[in-house]
Homo-oligomer: A and B are copies of this chain.
């Protein structure tokens, strides 16, 4: 079992060496820029899941990269002036602010297509199917977010954040060839990750749940979500110690 930091190093190395489609030409600069930074928590979860259920990090790397590519795609498009209009991302100019809006639209498209190219490196089409469905859920969540009104916050986050977190576990299972019939307990665990991530996010940003319920109550919710995730990990008959560390990191992160 490799520790979270080792898993992170693996995915950073893989992403840094990723050979993007040559036909993208100079468009690749914006794609690499979008992909250059990130917490890589989805990739870590995918790799840790694959190892915990008997697979190897190596065979799960394309799936983990596909998850990071989809995440990067969603950030690039969400940041666009027509959507969230964010000129900054992680303390740097967002892709449209750096490369212009036309290139940013195409960069998001390219990240999504590259994600499916990575996902197609498996014999089973299940990796592609689960990634496509998670992506569609995310898009549905972003649609709810921008069309707004009286939206159920839990449903919005289940789509916008939760679907890709759940797929992070799911892709790890497929990459490790765990039969579908054995996936149940892992998927029950996976469902807890999105809420955990989002509640902590809201506490850190002072919006969402923190704005709606107050800081203390939101922290309480986060602790409950972490507790449920740990409990569901405990119900899995495997060494899930690295996933447990990742849950703790999600619960206690400060950025």
- The verdict on A5 contacting chain B, using a C-beta distance below 8 Å, is no
Contacting residues, chain B, for A108 (C-beta < 8 A): 109
Q: Are B117 and A129 in contact (CB under 8 A)?
A: yes
Q: Are B128 and A110 in contact (CB under 8 A)?
A: no
Contacting residues, chain B, for A137 (C-beta < 8 A): 21, 23
The chain B residue sitting closest to A112, CB to CB, is: B112
Q: How many copies does the complex hold?
A: 2
- The verdict on A252 contacting chain B, using a C-beta distance below 8 Å, is no
Instruction: Select A77's contact among B105, B126, B163, beta carbons within 8 Å.
Output: B105
- The verdict on A14 contacting chain B, using a C-beta distance below 8 Å, is no
Chain A: number of interface residues, binned into ranges: 35 or more
What string of 1s and 0s marks CB contacts (under 8 Å) between A18-30 and chain B? 0001011111000
> Least Cβ distance of A138 to chain B in Å?
9
Q: Are B112 and A21 in contact (CB under 8 A)?
A: no
Q: Are B110 and A82 in contact (CB under 8 A)?
A: no
- The verdict on A188 contacting chain B, using a C-beta distance below 8 Å, is no
Contacting residues, chain B, for A106 (C-beta < 8 A): 77, 139, 142-143, 146
Given contacts A23-B137, A125-B120, contact A146 B113 (CB under 8 A): no
Q: Are B25 and A144 in contact (CB under 8 A)?
A: yes
Instruction: Select A24's contact among B103, B120, B124, B139, beta carbons within 8 Å.
Output: B139
- The verdict on A119 contacting chain B, using a C-beta distance below 8 Å, is yes
Contacting residues, chain B, for A120 (C-beta < 8 A): 125-126, 128-129, 132
Instruction: Select A113's contact among B110, B112, B126, beta carbons within 8 Å.
Output: B112
> Least Cβ distance of A180 to chain B in Å?
15
- Could you tell me the distance between the alpha carbons of A114 and B134 in the complex, rounded to whole angstroms? 11
Q: Are B117 and A136 in contact (CB under 8 A)?
A: yes
Contacting residues, chain B, for A133 (C-beta < 8 A): 21, 117
- The verdict on A209 contacting chain B, using a C-beta distance below 8 Å, is no
Contacting residues, chain B, for A119 (C-beta < 8 A): 116, 128
- Could you tell me the distance between the alpha carbons of A102 and B80 in the complex, rounded to whole angstroms? 9
Contacting residues, chain B, for A215 (C-beta < 8 A): none
Q: A77-B105, A114-B136 are in contact. List 13 more A-B contacts (CB 8 A).
A: A21-B133, A23-B159, A23-B163, A26-B143, A27-B143, A77-B106, A82-B102, A109-B135, A113-B136, A120-B132, A121-B125, A121-B129, A123-B125
* 5 nearest A-B residue pairs (beta carbon): A21-B136, A23-B140, A117-B132, A120-B128, A120-B129
